[in-house]
Amino acid sequence: MTISSTLRPRGVLSEETIYTVGDFVQRVVVGLLEGGYRGKFLCSPCLIKLTRDHLDKSYSLVEVGWAMNEVFKGPGAITLLPSAVCALCARKKPVPCLGVPLP
Ligand SMILES: [Zn+2]
């Protein structure tokens, strides 16, 4: 299995440098929620749309959606509200939303 390391795609040096779609999505989500959307809680479809606008166009909505699913499962430093009204689309029905509360 040693040969596989020499066959990696160009520019990839080691396991540590490989970022998955999930890593990028998580980073963009944190950036959004700690930045312009601080104190607001957003639902998954809104976050998917916003995140996709910040990512390379080569990522499909399906990929971003899948990654967003993972972020909702393990939001890390972000707060997950299992039942909230999204600040952007303001759906009538409370849905799971992610956000960073104001101090
Ligand atoms: Zn929404």
Per residue in 70-100, pLDDT tens?
999 998 889 999 999 999 998 788 999 999 9
Q: How far does the centroid of ligand 1 lie from the alpha carbon of residue 44, in Å?
A: 7
Average pLDDT score over residue span 26-47: 95
Q: How far does the centroid of ligand 1 lie from the alpha carbon of residue 19, in Å?
A: 27
Q: How far does the centroid of ligand 1 lie from the alpha carbon of residue 86, in Å?
A: 5
Where along the chain do its domains lie? 21-99
pTM value surpassing 0.85: no
- Which burial class, exposed, middle or buried, applies to 70 when counting CB atoms under 10 A from its CB (0-12, 13-18, 19+)? middle
For helices 61-73 and 21-34, give the axis angle rounded to 10 degrees: 70
- Which burial class, exposed, middle or buried, applies to 30 when counting CB atoms under 10 A from its CB (0-12, 13-18, 19+)? middle
Give the model's confidence band at 1: pLDDT under 50 very low, under 70 low, under 90 confident, else very high: very low
Average pLDDT score over residue span 4-14: 49
Nearest to 32 by CA among 82, 87, 70, 81: 87
